[in-house]
Structure formats: structure tokens, C-alpha cells
Structure 1
Amino acid sequence: MSYFDFDALHIEDRRMHEVKQLSLQLASTQASLLLVGEAGVGKTSLARYIYTKSRSARLYCLDCKNAGGFDFSRVDGGTLLIEDLDCASVALQNDLMKLVERADGTRPRFISTSRRDLRALVKQEQFRQDLFYKLAVVHLELPRLEDRRQDFQNIVNFILEVSQIMHGKSGLRLTAEGFDRLNTWNWPGNIRELENVLERAVVLAKSSLIGPESIQFEAVVEDMDLDFAPGMSLSEVEKRLIIQTLELTAQNRTRAAQMLGISIRTLRNKLNEYKEAGVL
């Protein structure tokens, strides 16, 4: 997220409160942390928050989706933030293992983020088991926005205030109908999507009131490479869609079933079929 502040926001949701408290407890340690959750829930913001609460001298950032220009030789202690660790190539995993094994005092503290369950990738031999154990000493799982109803109004108010400051505005507020429109959306893009929706409303506001007509949603599913092609059977399309939706939701079957519009029982039966066929 672009401007989320874990200190400024009052958190009431029990799971998120526990995540924040554990983050503060671990900030001053050297333990390697793995932050897991759907796209847009705030993994990178939490990672940076943990860094600011630590005594680390410097922060290095490695994006596993675009790691070609990263120079491992310049890493000298400090903290290494690894974004989208689940997307690390074999070569990048090998480079990270070399960094983990440094014994010359230049080994950094590792804080990683992942959308997918790395344990599942280890079982599928897509991720090094030894690297997993080194980088995932402590897991922190961030809940999706739809599951944080206790915090929703606080989050909306915070983002609305920050958006106004960013764009040189003040005095804007949501009408009851505007808030209801926000509150009934399921937020597939989580807090990042909420930021986008509210910032657009602030920028386009013609009066001090933001009503439902100013709330525009874009139901975009991020980073799903649905490699469908004409002539492909419906069963194959269904299988790929189910598998990739599970990847998007970090193997959260309940969430995947909701996104697919099927029951959890139907999803479970489909996965059992794929296992018997040797697909999973």
C-alpha cells in the first residue's frame, strides 16, 4: 500500500491486532519473518513498519518479480525486504541461499512477503526447503479486508483523510449512502483497492459530500495469467481457473470458492478429482 500507517490507525480486529503486537515484539530481533496474505492486504507496508521499529541501520528491497538488476554484493547487514518470495526463480533462490549462509558479518535480517503458501511450493518442489526454513522462522498472516469489518470504518476514515492531504483538499466526507456502497463491496483488491476507490472519489469530488455516485469499482483480478485458448475443453478451462484462483488466494479454499461462485464442497470435490488424476 502507498500510505498506510499502522501507528495512526486504531485497530479493533482481533487477528490484525495480534499481527501488529507480534510485529512490534519481533521488530528488534533478528528473526526472519514471512508475511503472508492476499494481494493488497498490506504485507509490504507491515514489513516497512517492522523495519522502522527495529534497530536496523539500512533497508534493501528485492522484488522477486523483477530481480534482474539487484546486486547482492552491495548488501551489507541491515534488513532485506523480499517482496513476492513465492515468485522467486530457481536462480534467485540460489542467490538468496548464498546470502543466508554468509558468515562474514554482512548477512542481513530477512523480512519476506508472499501471496502463496510456500509450504505447498516446497512440497511441489518449486521452492527450496532449506531456504524456506531460513526465511520463514516466524509466519505472520494478514487477513483480507472483507474479514476486517470491525476496522472498516476506521480504515475508510483514515484513507479519506490522507487522500485529501495528498491532493490539497479538506472537509470532504462520505454520505451514509456513500459509506453503505463501500461497505457492501467484497473488496477483491483489499486495502489497495479501497485506497484507489477513495482517492479517485476525492480527486473527482465537486462538493464536500461524497455520495454513492462517486464510488466506482473495478473488479480486476490481479496477476492471473489465464492462459486459455480457443479449442480448449471446458473442463480444462475450469481446472486452470480453479488452480490459479487458489494460487491468488494463497490456497484459501473458502475465499477461492467465494470468488469462483461455487460451494466449498464443490471445490473440494474438484480438487480431489485433480489429485486422483495426478494434476495436483
Structure 2
Amino acid sequence: EVLKKIRSVAPTKTTVLLLGETGTGKGVMARLIHAHSNRKENQFIGVHCGAIPDTLMESELFGHEKGAFTGAVKRKLGKFEIAKAGTIFLDEINTITSSTQIKLLQVLQDRTFQPVGGEINIETDARFIAASNCDLREMAESGEFRKDLYYRLNVFPIVLPPLRERKEDIPELVSQFIRQLNLFHAKQISEVHALVLEALDAYDWPGNIRELENLIERAHILETSSTLTPESFPMELFQNQPPITQIALNASKSLAEVRRAGVENIERQYLKEILSINKGRIDASARDAAISTRQLHKLLTKYGIQKSEFK
């Protein structure tokens, strides 16, 4: 349901308000909207409002002119000006001050803003996405948040339930994470093993999407093939699943070939796990495995595993 709404609103210019508890993936959804929009070739600018001091918020969003205040030694571009015809995402918008709310209202109404200390209006065509982990309607009713700004933001609200309540979104989220990680780590991982998807679906996700993203990133670093395999994930994830050695047995092969493949799977998983525990240190890993460092080097070469991936 969430992804269906995102696909519907992504191609438009409509302002989107993402609502949900911490870790439900508001930032991920904002990037997904941008990626499926006709602005995807332009900038995506994310601003974590709760992490910026109140005194710097207006300068951060709208920029400032040289000499606008003490320490403003040169002109600074704000996030709206940098975003241009792209997308700007304001996370935890519920934390901004009333003076910033007024300026933000002007941007949404007139599509113009003034840098701090400036006199000339600057136009913006940025697509606006906001997010809050608090009930903005309740804040507006109590006077903690401007009602007129709330109504401007609440054009297309999307409530993000915890991941455990929308597990049908997991495959697409995983694909999104893999695409991003491929860019950063120069890998070409394109598939996810069926057993991994089953295990992800069976898990309760107390850490929501943030936990899923971290798990996929760890597996992406460890993986040496083009498919995310069970060996690259923590063993605990599969505690309710069939043992890995029971997966995808090929009856056309001989018993010796199947046995060898099973041993190799276990060895590969074991080596990755022990290197991860020891942060890539060969001496410590060899000691824990009760083998020589020379034997460990030979095994790492055999399976194409790089110790640098675990540091």
C-alpha cells in the first residue's frame, strides 16, 4: 500500500508528507519518490532539521549574504537554492522554529525565498517532501505548529507503518538498497537468494527499515558473488529456516560433488563470519579457527574473500 502510493505521487510535483515512528524509513521513501520522479537526474537534498541548531536553520535552508551576521564572511547558498529543480527533503520538520515556519510557508505558497540579509527574491522549482515522527495535526491544533503550514504540507500524506506490518515491501526495499550500495562499493550484485528473502520475511524487524538497511549493507560488503547469499548474513537470521546445506540440492550431480559444494558453502560462511568478528585480522582469525595463517590465506584466495572488506 505504501509503495503503491509512492508510485502514484512520484511523477507529480505534489508536496508529500511522510509520517511514522523513528526507523520506519522516511528518508528511504523520500529517496524512492525522487528516484521514480522526472527529477531523478537533478539534486536530492536531505536536511535533518532536528540536528541543526535553531540559530543556523534559516541560513542552512535559505542561505545568507556576506555580512548578514557575525561570522558570515562570504555568501552561502541555502539548500533550496542548491536543490534548484530537484527534490528537497526536510526530516523532523516538527522541530523547526516559528520564524522558520513562516519563511517555509512563503516558499510553499510563492515558490520564492530571500537569503538571510538579502533583499532579492530567489525562485525555486524544488519538489518538497517533509517528514515527521510526531503527530503534526495534533501539534497544529495545540498551537505548537502553524496550521497554515500544516495544511500546505498535508497535501499528500503517507503514513509509514512499522516494517513488521508491511513485509510485502521488503523485496523492493532490498533492491533499492542494493542499487545504492553497488554505486558506493563498485560491485554488481543483482539478485538475492530465495532463502534470504524467506528469512527476511520471517523476521520481526524491531529496528524497522534502518535495521534492514544495515543488514543489507553488511551482507553487501561480505558478498563475493553477484547474488546476496545466506553466507553473507548472520546465522541467527536463519535459525528458523532449513540448514543451508539443504538448499538447492542438484540431483543430477554425484554425491561427491554435492558433498563438496556443501562443505565449500559452510567453509565460505565460516571464514566470513570469523573475519567479521576479528575485523579482518588474519592472526586472530587463524588462531580462532585453529589453523595456520598460511592455511587461512590459501582458503581466502580459494573463495575470493578479501580481508580488507572486514576492517
Normalised to the residue count of structure 2, the TM-score between the two structures is: 0.50
What does the per-residue CA deviation read over 1:110-143, in whole Å, with 9 as the maximum and x for residues that have no partner?
A: 2211222210111232211111112222212234
Q: How does 1:173-212 map to 2 (within 5 A)?
A: 174=193, 176=195, 181-204=199-222, 209-211=229-231
Distance 1:185 1:115 in 2: 24
Report the counterpart of residue 122 of structure 1 in structure 2: 140
Structure 1's 46 and 152: CA in aligned 2 closer, same or farther, altered over 3 A? closer
C-alpha distance in 2 between matches for 1:154 and 1:101: 34
**In the alignment, what sits opposite 1:80?**
88
Q: Aligned equivalents of 2:189 and 2:44: distance in 1?
A: 34
Q: Which residue is equivalent to 2:48?
A: 63
Preserved contact between residue 33 and residue 111 of structure 1 (Cα < 8 Å) = yes
Larger radius of gyration: 2
* Whole-Å separation in 1 of the counterparts to 2:124 and 2:172: 39
Pairwise mapping of residues 36-115 of structure 1 onto structure 2 (< 5 A)? 36-51=19-34, 53-54=37-38, 60-67=45-52, 68=56, 69-73=59-63, 74=78, 75-76=80-81, 78=85, 79-102=87-110, 106=123, 108=125, 109-115=127-133
- The equivalent residue for 1:5 is none
1:205 shift after superposition: 5.7
Q: Please give the per-residue CA displacement for 1:169-226, whole angstroms capped at 9, x wherever unaligned.
A: 76996584x6555333321332221121132234346998525972568xxxxxxxxx
Alpha-carbon distance change, 153 to 62 in structure 1, aligned in 2, over 3 angstroms: closer
Hey, what does 1:23 align to over in structure 2? 9
Q: 1:45 to 1:173 in 2, by over 3 A?
A: closer
Tell me, in whole angstroms, the C-alpha distance in 1 between the residues paired with 2:62 and 2:223: 46
Name the counterpart of 1:139.
Answer: 157
Distance 1:63 1:158 in 2: 21
Q: Percent identity?
A: 26
Residue identity matched to 1:183: D
Aligned match of 1:148: 166
Say whether the 8 Å CA contact 1:181–1:212 is kept in structure 2.
no
| Structure 2 counterpart of 1:267 | none
Structure with the larger helix share:
2
Indicate the RMSD between aligned Cα atoms, in angstroms: 3.9
CA distance in 1, matches of 2:140, 2:198: 43
Which is bigger in relative contact order (C-alpha 8 A, separation at least 6)? 1
Supply the distance in 2 between the matched residues of 1:210 and 1:138 (Cα, whole angstroms).
Answer: 39
Does the 8 Å CA contact 1:182/1:215 hold for their aligned counterparts?
no
The runs of 4+ residues in structure 1 deviating greater than 6 Å are none
Moved more, 61-70 or 95-104: 95-104
Q: Do 1:197 and 1:215's aligned partners in 2 also have CA atoms closer than 8 Å?
A: no
Gaps of 5+ in 1: 1-14, 218-280
Please say if residues 219 and 233 of structure 2, whose CA atoms lie closer than 8 Å, have aligned partners that are also in contact. Answer: no
Q: Which moved more, 1:45-54 or 1:160-169?
A: 160-169
**Structure 2 CA distance for aligned equivalents of residues 98 and 88 of structure 1:** 15
Question: Shift of residue 164 of structure 1?
Answer: 6.7
Contact 2:23-2:207 within 8 A present in 1 as well: yes
Cα deviation for residue 80 of structure 1 reads 3.5
Task: Tell me how far 1:159 sits from its aligned partner.
Answer: 4.5
User: Within 2, Cα distance between the matches of 1:55 and 1:156?
Assistant: 23
